[in-house]
Structure 1
């Protein structure tokens, strides 16, 4: 097998493994019974599980990209 084909096959396998691991992590995140908020390296919110959505009253879409230091929304 040519080296390029081998590298491409390995790359494809790695991408499939990464996609599987990502999906498995999301399933775990969303099934946890506690509120879980994940952030990126800069502290911006990436994901909220359903319990965190209930607690914060934010949807995942509303929270995505917000700085985690912002804290919880005001409850009035």
Structure 2
């Protein structure tokens, strides 16, 4: 069973950040897809893992995208 959730990556003018809620499923321990769509929405589709939610600040998303080693380390900590 996999979960997919799309949240807006735009920030409100008040400076409030929008957080991405990445839903994960059970058992397989594989990432199916993690991509930013052309419509400036963060799309996260994860399969595997014990059921849990990972919350990543969109302000750090660009850091994770530019440094796959950090992203891999954070994801492995969630296992």
TM-score range, shorter chain: under 0.3
Q: Greater share of strand residues, 1 or 2?
A: 2
Q: Greater share of helix residues, 1 or 2?
A: 1
Which structure carries more relative contact order (alpha carbon 8 Å, separation 6+)?
A: 2
TM-score (norm 2): 0.25
TM-score (norm 1): 0.26
**Highest CA radius of gyration, 1 or 2?**
1
